Amino acid sequence: MGIQINGQNDTIVATDGSMNITSTVTGNVTGNVTGNVTGNLTGDVSAGVITATSSIVVGDKFISSAGVGIGSTTTAGRNAGVSTAIGTLIYNATTNSIEGYGPDGWASVKSLIESGIIATGGIINEYENGGIVYRSHSFTSSGTFQVTSTGSLPTAADFLVIGGGAGGGYHQAGGGGAGGYRTSMPEGPGGPSPSVEDQITLTVSSYPITVGAGGQGATNPSSQGGNGTPSSFSTIISQGGGGGGTYGDPNGNNGGAGGGSGASAPTTSVPGGTGNRETDTTTPVPNQGYPGGGAAGSSGNHRSGGGGGAGGAGTAGTPGGYAGPGGIGKSSTIVYGPTNPVSYAGGGGGSSEPSTQSLAGGQPGNPGGLGGVPYGGGLGGYGSILGTDASDNTGSGGGGTQSSGAVAGASGKGGSGLVVVRYQIASRDAGTAKATGGNISFSGDQTIHTFYSSGTFTVTDSSLTSAAVLQVAGGGGGGFLNGGGGGAGGLTYNSSAPINPSPGVYTITVGAGGAGSAPKPSPVTGFAKGKFGSPTVGIITTCNGGGGGAGNGTPDDATNGRTATPGGGSGGGGCDAGNGGTGTPGQGNPGGSAPGVGDAGGGGGGAGSAGSPTPAATTGGAGGAGLQYSISGTSQYYAGGGGGGARSPGTAGSGGSGIGGDGSAPGDQAGHGVMSTGSGGGGGGNTTPAPLYGGGGTGGSGIVIISYPT
C-alpha cells in the first residue's frame, strides 16, 4: 500500500489496498473510503462511496444496515432551530410523530402512536380515566356525527341520548316529565339508571343526530303541557317527556318519563303518566324514565303531582298538604370525565293552591327534580306564581302552574334534549393543545379553553403568541319591589389578543353573579337594591361586575333606593323616578330609568345595548341586548340585561337576548340570569293582594373562553 500526498496537505490518495486513517482529514476525499473514520472528516466526498462496516453516527442520528435514525427533539427544541432547510425530517417527542419542514413550515408526516377513531361534529372534549383517554362529542342541537376513520383502537362507542323534556300544565297542574334517558355508561350519582345498554360499534359513516325540543308550557286551563320530542343517534331513540296534566285534562301524559297529574276536582285522585319503554323485540326493553306523580285534592286545597325523572318517579300531591316534587334525575360523566359529573333529566314540580298550610321551608313553589337546580327540572307554581322553565340541554320537565286567572304567561317549558357520543383515543389530540387549563374542547380548526370557574391558563408552546379571547364578568342582581333589572357583567372580546410572555402562566378569575334582593312578606321594610356581580380577570383586562338593579324606596344609598348605583360592567335599571346605572364604557351600557314617581323598574343594561326605560307606569323596561359570539364552537349570546319588574297590574320587562332574567310580573317570579353568560337578574314585582312581595333574580356567573388554531 502506498500513500501519495499532492501539494501541501490538501489531498491524500491511497494508491493500492486499503488503510485506516486515525487522524483528522481536511480536504477532499476523491476515492472510496472503506473502514472506520475515527477522527473528523470535514471535506467533500465526491465521485466516491463511503462504506461503513457498522454505522455512521452523529449525535443521536445514525445510518446503519438496520435503519436510519433521525434523532428525537421536542416542539420547543424544534422551534429553537435556526435556518431550517427544506426537506428536514425530525421525530417530535411532543407530538409523537415524524415531522418534515416545507415551504409552509413544519407539518406532521406520520404519527407513531396507535390511531383511534377520527370523527367530527358537536362540541368535542377529551379526558383521561383509568389510564384510557376518551373523546366525547356533545350535540346540543341536531347535526351530523361523521366518522372518517376507525383506526386501530376499539371502535365501540358509549352514548347518552336524552329526549326533550315536557312542559308543565296550566291551572291546578302537574309538572312535565323528563325526556327519555338512554345510555351505555354505568350509572353515576342520582337515582338508579333506567338501564345500561350495549355500546354502539362505529364504522366509517355519517350518523344523523336529532336533539329533541322541549315541550311548551300550557297556556290555558284546559290544555296539558306540551310533550317533548324524541332525540336519536344510530338505533337509539329516546322519547320526549310526557306533558303535565291540568284541571281540564288531569291525566299526565305518557312519555320518556310521565307527566304529573293535575287536580280536576276537590276529591279526585288522578294517577300520573307512565314512563315509556322502547318497542324492541330483539333485546331487553330499555326503561327510559319513571312515572309522574298523581294529584290529590280537598276543597280549596289542590295539590298536583310532579313529573317523572330519569332516576325516580314524581311524587304525588298530598290532600291538604304539599304538591309533588318532580322525580330525581341522573348524573353522567360521559362529557367531561369522572371528576366532572353533569346532571340531567329531572321532572318538573307540581303546583300548589294557596292555603294556611305553608310549604316546606317556606318556599314559594315546589322543586322540580331534586331541588329544582341539580337536575334541571322547573319549579312548580304556588298560588298565582307561575311554574318555571327547565334548563335547556338537560331534557328536564317544566314546572306546573296553579293559577287559572288573568296572569299573563304560561307554565314552565321543558328543557331541550342532548346527544353525546364517546370513544377511546390513543392520546389527547397530538400537537393541538398548546396550553393547559379550563375545559379543553375542539371545534373545527380551533382549540378552545373554557373557564366556567376560576383557574390557571398555562401556555406550554411558545408558538402560541395570540388567541381569540372572550371575557365576561358576573351579572348584577335585580332590585326589590317593582325593581330595576340587573346589569350584565362587563364584556370584552379580542379576536387576536397578544399572549405575552409565551410560554407563560395566567391566573383566570371568573366572577360570580350578584344576588337579587330577597322576597319578603307583606308588610315590608327596606327596599334593597340587587348586588353587583363580581369582576372577571383574564388575559385582556379586568371586566367589571354588572350593576345591581334599584329597589323601590328610600333611603337612596348603596344598599337601598330608587336610583341604581353608578358603575358596573353594564348599569342596573332604576325604578320609581330613579335613574339607571352608568356602566363602564367599552364593557357595557347604561341601565334604563323610570321617569315618573310610581313607575315600574327599568331594564338593566346589556353588552349590546342600553336597558329600556319604563315604557308605562306599570310596565317594566326590557333588559339590554347581549352580544353574540361563536368562539365556543356554537353561536350564542352573552351579557344580556335583566328585565325590569312590573307594578301591578302591569307586565314585566323581558330579559335581554333570552339570557337576561325576566322581570317579575304581578304573581310571577323574577328570572335569574343564565349561568356562564354574565347576564343580569330580573327586577322584582308585587302582587295585589300581596302575601309575598317579589324579590329580584340573581345575576348569571361570568365566563372566560380562549380559542386558537389547532
Q: Are residues 44 and 183 in the same domain?
A: no
Q: Domain ends where: 380, 399, 430?
A: 430
Q: Are residues 402 and 446 in the same domain?
A: no
Per residue in 8-53, pLDDT (tens digit) is 444 555 555 555 555 556 555 666 666 666 555 665 555 556 666 6
3-state SS of 72-88 is EECHHHHHCCCCCCCCC
Q: Are residues 390 and 439 in the same domain?
A: no
Within 8 A by CB and 6+ apart from 624, the residues are 487, 488, 570, 588, 589, 591, 592, 603, 604, 605, 606, 607, 608, 609, 610, 611, 612, 640, 641, 656, 660
Q: What pLDDT score was predicted for residue 433?
A: 79
User: Mean pLDDT across the stretch 262-284?
Assistant: 59
Q: Are residues 646 and 523 in the same domain?
A: yes
Identify the bridge partners of residue 108 per DSSP, sorted by sequence position: 99
Alpha carbons 480 and 548: distance in angstroms, whole number:
10
Strands 236-238 and 330-332, sheet pairing: unpaired
> What percentage of the chain reaches a pLDDT higher than 90?
29
**How is residue 511 written as a grid cell?**
366572577
3-class SS at 457?
strand
Q: Which domain holds residue 87?
A: 3-111
Q: Are residues 512 and 399 in the same domain?
A: no
Cis peptide bond N-terminal to 325, omega within 30 = no
Say if residue 279's pLDDT is above 50: no
Q: Which amino acid is at 277?
A: R
Q: Are residues 363 and 443 in the same domain?
A: no
Q: Domain ends where: 430, 463, 495?
A: 430
Q: Are residues 12 and 119 in the same domain?
A: no
Alpha carbons 173 and 246: distance in angstroms, whole number:
4
Alpha carbons 428 and 445: distance in angstroms, whole number:
15
3-class SS at 325?
coil
Q: Are residues 390 and 411 in the same domain?
A: yes
Among 312, 310, 369, residue whose Cα is nearest residue 185: 310
Q: Within 13 A of 681's CA, how many CA atoms are on the CB side? A: 38
Per residue in 459-490, pLDDT (tens digit) is 988 889 999 999 999 999 998 888 899 999 99
Q: How many distinct structural domains can be found in the chain?
A: 3
pTM: 0.61
User: Mean pLDDT across the stretch 438-461?
Assistant: 84
Q: Is 361 buried (19+), middle (13-18) or exposed (0-12) by CB count in 10 A?
A: exposed
Q: Are residues 455 and 566 in the same domain?
A: yes
Per residue in 587-636, pLDDT (tens digit) is 999 999 988 877 789 999 999 999 999 988 888 999 999 999 989 877 88
Per residue in 219-261, pLDDT (tens digit) is 777 788 999 999 999 999 999 999 999 887 888 899 999 999 8
Q: What pLDDT score was predicted for residue 428?
A: 60
Q: Are residues 37 and 131 in the same domain?
A: no
Q: Domain ends where: 406, 430, 454?
A: 430
Per residue in 292-343, pLDDT (tens digit) is 988 876 555 677 888 999 888 888 877 666 788 888 888 888 988 877 778 8
Q: Are residues 365 and 513 in the same domain?
A: no
Kindly report the length of the chain: 710
**How is residue 138 written as a grid cell?**
356533545
Q: Are residues 450 and 560 in the same domain?
A: yes
Alpha carbons 570 and 592: distance in angstroms, whole number:
11
Among 201, 313, 191, 311, residue whose Cα is nearest residue 261: 313
